[in-house]
Chains A and B, each alone.
Chain A
Amino acid sequence: MQIAIASGKGGTGKTTLAVNLAVLLSEKFAGTGQKVLLTDMDVEEPNSGLFLQGELLSEEIKYRLVPEWKEDKCTLCKRCANICEYNALAFLGISVMIFPELCHSCYACSDLCPEDALPMVKHRMGVTKRFLLNDNLEFMESRIDIGVEQATPLIEQTRKFIKENYDKTWFTILDAPPGTSCPVMEAVKDADLVVLITEPTPFGFHDLKLAIDTMKELRKKIAVVINKYGIGNDDVLNYCLEKGIPVIGKIPHLVEAAKLYSKGKTMVGELPEIRNEIEHVYSRICQLTKEKA
């Protein structure tokens, strides 16, 4: 089972819910053989790892392929620069310059070069690390290097890594990036359920509606968790009721929770109100994933 925690607006509690759900489930599943994987897919600003300590299992540099110009083979026919839709190749009269950050790794220039003067070579994107937190809980994070602009290719590699290495018996929780565009769409591709977490404010409400539209476009099964419940107003709740979107948790607004978060501490061991609500979220996740889409 794979659950993605996402949100349109940033700072609504994705990491809080993902980390605390993972810790709670790890405790709950102790001795049952059920394993939990938490993955931070917010490769631009991965934060889940700040709340967890574990033993490093692996650390891998991640690459994608971009063309490299071979001066000795090039006849300066300009075909590559004419083909590239991303302006990632500039024809400078006597040479070809490549801008890896603009390249989408489509291979067109490389494959269609009549002289084989543009072989695809590795270009570093970032690092993926895996940690063992305890016998039934693993944590993985990918982070792009500063200056790497395209987050999506690293998210895609991370998603595929999970698919190949963690089968469906794992309970996998994804901490998705914020927003409604390509990074989050890539992150949630394999998820059985997308939990959208929001806060009951006009900003939270507005961005939730955008996120719901995006997930509907992707034909994803969705549920909503309202964080910082008690501030703002009831617009989110009423909207979800009206649209028939299940609200599977209302995490109360507590200053103590914000303080624990600020220190990088989890809440399920300290704040029973929050633990109970996350228990409830889990039971509703189980219900929803059993139902047919």
Chain B
Amino acid sequence: MKEIVVLSGKGGTGKTSITAGFAALGAKHLVLADCDVDAADMHLLTAPQIQREEDFYSGKTGKVITEGCVHCFKCMDVCHFDAVLHQEGEFVIDPMECEGCSYCYHVCPTHTIKMLPRLAGKFYVSKTRFNNTLVHARLGIAADNSGKLVTKVREEAKKIAEAEQLDYVLVDASPGIGCPVVASLTGADYVVMVTEPTVSGLHDLSRVYEMIEKLHLKSGCIINKADLNKKITLKISDFLKSKNVETLCEIPYNIRFTEAISQGKTIVEYDDGPLKDKIISSWEKVKTIVSK
């Protein structure tokens, strides 16, 4: 089983559209993992039927049990997150600010603070209309710990792929270079970077690539909307060449991507021309590379 991660430093480059295209092509040979848990959109194109749903707990959150409190203010003094408030003569821990470090719990002389497991979100195992399994999640509103939820989604996807002896786990990662992205990437077999020829696209690609290099991962790149700015497309190609990264394909700017999304379809279902061919040839290249 090989794990392929699709990511882009910058948002809105077409990462999810391309991943969904791969998912439609790979159909029952893969498990799909939507690791963009902040703003998960894969389900909008794959119409999943939820088969299993679980609450996801991660870390802790403090709660003051008022009875027994001697009002020593120690909890408030030690908290570095300003999460302990004193309201109407009682101590209250603000769940939005609490990082679950348990410092207050350790210093409370009367043990009137309890640390409880924190509900971070939900994760789902579903069957898509392509008959593959989609593991996805929903981060709790204003919740923390997206990196841990990402790890959970990936682990679950891998478990299923191994149990069903499937060839691939296909991961849609979140934008950026922070903890959810690192959690999506670590240990992957291959990374598909999706970029666009804009100053931001190039800037973000170079940061994402630096991170991939640090993690010693193999990668290739798709330049989406390639005709939007040919000069920058050339710069991106040069950058990739200098790093020995294969350009999997260049896709022209095309409103059909948006039209496909609006109809809840992947581009390989909606388009019957060159766009579809490009996604197919990229997917074939990725499969060849990871099978080596």
Residues on A facing B (Cβ under 8 Å) = 8-12, 15, 42, 44-45, 47, 50-51, 83, 85-86, 104-108, 111-112, 144, 146-151, 177-183, 185, 201-203, 206-207, 210, 213-214, 217-218, 231-233, 258-259, 261-264
Q: In whole angstroms, how far apart are the Cα atoms of A105 and B179 in the complex?
A: 16
Closest to B204 in A: A45
Q: In whole angstroms, how far apart are the Cα atoms of A85 and B60 in the complex?
A: 8
A150 touches B178 (CB 8 A): yes
B144 touches A179 (CB 8 A): no
Check A178/B204 contact, CB under 8 A, given A112-B106, A203-B16. Answer: no
Check A201/B262 contact, CB under 8 A, given A179-B38, A231-B255, A261-B198. Answer: yes
Residues 97-136 of B at the A interface (beta carbon under 8 Å): 99-103, 106-107
Q: In this assembly, does B165 line the interface, its C-beta being within 8 Å of a C-beta of chain A?
A: no
Interface size of B by CB at 8 A reads: 61
Partner of A262, one of B11, B16, B106, B232: B232
- Chain B 178-208, CB-CB to A under 8 Å as 1, else 0, gives 1111100000000000001111110110010
New contact pairs (5) apart from A179-B174, A181-B139, A218-B96, CB-CB < 8 Å:
A44-B178, A47-B203, A179-B39, A217-B141, A232-B261
B144 touches A47 (CB 8 A): no
For residue A218, give the distance in angstroms from its CB to the closest CB of chain B: 6
Q: How would you classify the secondary structure of chain A's contact residues: helix, strand, loop or mixed? A: loop
B139, B175, B203, B225: residue with the most chain A Cβ atoms closer than 10 Å: B175
Closest to B181 in A: A44
A263 touches B99 (CB 8 A): no
B106 touches A47 (CB 8 A): no
Complex A-B: 22 CB contacts under 8 Å: A8-B38, A9-B11, A9-B41, A10-B10, A11-B175, A44-B177, A44-B181, A47-B200, A47-B203, A106-B101, A107-B80, A146-B214, A149-B178, A178-B38, A180-B39, A181-B38, A185-B96, A218-B96, A259-B228, A261-B198, A262-B197, A262-B232
Closest to A232 in B: B262
B99 touches A178 (CB 8 A): no
Partner of B228, one of A104, A177, A262, A264: A262
Residues on B facing A (Cβ under 8 Å) = 9-13, 16, 38-39, 41, 44, 59-60, 78, 80-81, 96, 99-103, 106-107, 139, 141-144, 146-147, 174-182, 196-201, 203-204, 207, 210-211, 214, 225, 228-229, 232, 253, 255, 258, 261-262, 264
Taking CB atoms, residues of chain B closer than 8 Å to A83 are: 102, 106
B229 touches A183 (CB 8 A): no
A203 touches B41 (CB 8 A): yes
Taking CB atoms, residues of chain A closer than 8 Å to B96 are: 185, 217-218
Check A185/B177 contact, CB under 8 A, given A83-B102, A210-B39. Answer: no
Check A50/B143 contact, CB under 8 A, given A11-B11, A207-B39. Answer: no
Q: In whole angstroms, how far apart are the Cα atoms of A85 and B59 in the complex?
A: 7
A42, A51, A149: residue with the most chain B Cβ atoms closer than 10 Å: A149
B41 touches A207 (CB 8 A): yes
A151 touches B178 (CB 8 A): yes
Q: In whole angstroms, how far apart are the Cα atoms of A146 and B101 in the complex?
A: 26
Partner of A106, one of B13, B81, B214: B81
Task: List the 7 shortest-distance A-B pairs measured between CB atoms, nearest first.
Answer: A10-B11, A11-B12, A106-B101, A179-B38, A264-B199, A262-B229, A44-B176
Check A202/B264 contact, CB under 8 A, given A107-B80, A231-B255. Answer: yes
B101, B203, B210: residue with the most chain A Cβ atoms closer than 10 Å: B101
A180 touches B261 (CB 8 A): no
Q: In whole angstroms, how far apart are the Cα atoms of A213 and B142 in the complex?
A: 8
Closest to A264 in B: B199
B11 touches A258 (CB 8 A): no
Q: In whole angstroms, how far apart are the Cα atoms of A259 and B44 in the complex?
A: 29
Q: In whole angstroms, how far apart are the Cα atoms of A185 and B81 in the complex?
A: 14
B44 touches A108 (CB 8 A): no
Closest to A217 in B: B142
Check A183/B11 contact, CB under 8 A, given A147-B211, A231-B258. Answer: no
Q: In whole angstroms, how far apart are the Cα atoms of A107 and B103 in the complex?
A: 8
Taking CB atoms, residues of chain A closer than 8 Å to B78 are: 107-108, 111
Partner of A45, one of B175, B214, B253: B175
